[in-house]
């Protein structure tokens, strides 16, 4: 009977030391975290994880330190690992909540706004899971609404950008058509001037060409902003067509010249208008970032702050947690559970994830 007792005592000693070391390293990390020394906090949490690689608390705290340091990829990995090892629904809800915060921050830091859509959707899913696991989690509900607003704002911006690009494309197309019409009209005037005594066939060709230019101008006038100059061009084209129909090409030529000049001026006006709109759109494209930051700063953080200080919703719940072992029996029970897990995984051909103390 002495041997089992001796075995139990030798087991209790390293387990107690390991538990104390785990608690000490977590406490050291928490102190560094409170001092905003996240690099030192992360190092302490990594040391804590060496004592218990399966500890969800150590993983959670590593994620919190990475989150505060702006390392979203590491924070996401650690929170996911902690979530997979969550001892209960309340702890898993906290992991899901922090995963939502991490995705939200990552979305804000995407180089291209369109790349943020899926990341905002990911944050929404995590906040929804947090609420499902813990219906009383009010901060998850607040952040869920914030993420939805940010996603909706981004979708509206994307739609507006697409509409602007389509409008610019149409305007550029109209601008190119204007330039082409001015060139065709000038060429018609030049041919008329270079043919002082046209044959009946040449006169007919001139008349047909002028009518086609006039029709194309009328089509463009329906959608073009430079209406005044286009109307002037159409009036001169009409005069030129009438003179050509009367067999008086020499009298049509001045009207053709004036029509070509009006089309060139319409083209210049269109270019100026297009540049002006592009500058306005560029300025408008900078505004959503300011709106986004303002919306985020409306909500309070979990970290205690003075009431008159600005608060930030997405920092909520990114708090370290400390694993607490009440007594030696808790340590033994935990070690038995870990040992059973190792035996199951080894039987399945998987590498061990923990060690005997």
Q: Which of 270, 60, 89 is nearest to 172 (CA)?
A: 270
Q: Which of 209, 221, 207, 210 is nearest to 177 (CA)?
A: 221
What percentage of residues in the chain have a pLDDT greater than 70?
Answer: 72
Q: What is the mean pLDDT of residues 256-267?
A: 87
What's residue 162's pLDDT?
83
User: What does the CA dihedral 343, 346, 352, 353 come to, rounded to 10 degrees?
Assistant: -60
Q: Which one is predicted more confidently, 335 or 197? A: 197
- How many angstroms separate the CA atoms of 27 and 58, rounded? 11
- How many angstroms separate the CA atoms of 207 and 199, rounded? 12
In this structure, of 137-146, 218-227, 342-351, the range with the lowest mean pLDDT score is 342-351
Which numeric CATH code is attached to 1-86+326-357? 1.25.40.10
What's residue 225's pLDDT?
54
Per-residue pLDDT tens over the stretch 50-60:
888 888 999 99
Q: Which one is predicted more confidently, 305 or 156? A: 156
- How many angstroms separate the CA atoms of 46 and 52, rounded? 10
Q: Which one is predicted more confidently, 284 or 219? A: 219
DSSP-assigned states of every residue in 206-237: HHHHHHHHHHHHHHHHTT-S-HHHHHHHHHHH
Per-residue pLDDT tens over the stretch 152-203:
999 988 888 888 888 888 788 888 888 898 899 899 889 888 888 888 888 8
User: Is residue 16 predicted with pLDDT exceeding 70?
Assistant: no
Q: Which one is predicted more confidently, 247 or 114? A: 247
Which numeric CATH code is attached to 169-291? 1.20.120
In this structure, of 37-51, 233-247, 302-316, the range with the lowest mean pLDDT score is 302-316
pTM assigned to the model: 0.59
In this structure, of 35-39, 64-68, 168-172, 196-200, the range with the lowest mean pLDDT score is 168-172
Residue ranges per domain, the chain?
Answer: 1-86+326-357, 169-291
- How many angstroms separate the CA atoms of 227 and 276, rounded? 17
What percentage of residues in the chain have a pLDDT greater than 90?
Answer: 29
213 and 181 in contact (C-beta within 8 Å)?
yes
59 and 49 in contact (C-beta within 8 Å)?
yes
124 and 151 in contact (C-beta within 8 Å)?
yes
What's residue 174's pLDDT?
81
- Cα distances from 72 to residues 62, 68, 101, 225, in angstroms, run 12, 9, 10, 48
* The two three-digit tokens of residue 180, written as one number: 């082409």
């Amino acid at each position: 009977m002495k041997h089992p007792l001796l075995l139990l005592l030798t087991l209790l000693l390293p387990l107690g030391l390991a538990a104390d070391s785990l608690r000490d390293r977590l406490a050291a990390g928490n102190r560094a975290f409170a001092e905003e020394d996240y690099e030192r906090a992360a190092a302490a949490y990594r040391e804590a994880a060496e004592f218990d690689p399966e500890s969800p608390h150590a993983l959670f705290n590593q994620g919190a330190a990475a989150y505060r340091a702006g390392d979203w990829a590491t924070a996401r990995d650690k929170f996911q690992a902690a979530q997979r090892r969550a001892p209960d629904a309340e702890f898993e809800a906290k992991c899901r909540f922090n995963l939502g915060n991490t995705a939200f921050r990552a979305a804000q830091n995407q180089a291209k706004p369109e790349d943020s859509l899926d990341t905002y959707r990911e944050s929404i899913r995590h906040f929804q899971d947090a609420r499902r696991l813990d219906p009383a989690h009010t901060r998850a509900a607040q952040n869920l609404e914030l993420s939805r607003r940010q996603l909706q704002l981004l979708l509206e911006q994307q739609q507006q950008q697409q509409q602007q690009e389509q409008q610019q494309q149409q305007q550029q197309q109209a601008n190119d058509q204007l330039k082409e019409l001015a060139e065709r009209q000038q060429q018609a005037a030049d041919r008329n001037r270079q043919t002082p005594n046209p044959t009946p066939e040449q006169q007919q060709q001139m008349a047909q060409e002028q009518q086609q230019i006039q029709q194309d101008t009328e089509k463009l006038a329906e959608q073009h902003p430079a209406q005044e100059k286009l109307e002037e061009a159409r009036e001169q084209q009409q005069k030129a067509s009438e003179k050509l129909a009367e067999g008086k090409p020499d009298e049509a030529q001045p009207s053709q010249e004036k029509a070509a000049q009006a089309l060139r001026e319409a083209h210049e006006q269109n270019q100026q208008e297009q540049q002006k709109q592009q500058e306005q759109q560029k300025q408008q494209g900078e505004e959503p970032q300011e709106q986004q930051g303002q919306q985020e700063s409306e909500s309070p953080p979990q970290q205690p702050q003075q009431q008159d200080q600005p608060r930030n919703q997405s920092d909520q719940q990114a708090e370290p947690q400390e694993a607490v072992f009440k007594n030696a029996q808790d340590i033994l029970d935990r070690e038995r559970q870990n040992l059973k897990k190792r035996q199951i995984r080894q039987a399945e051909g998987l590498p061990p994830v923990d060690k005997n103390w």
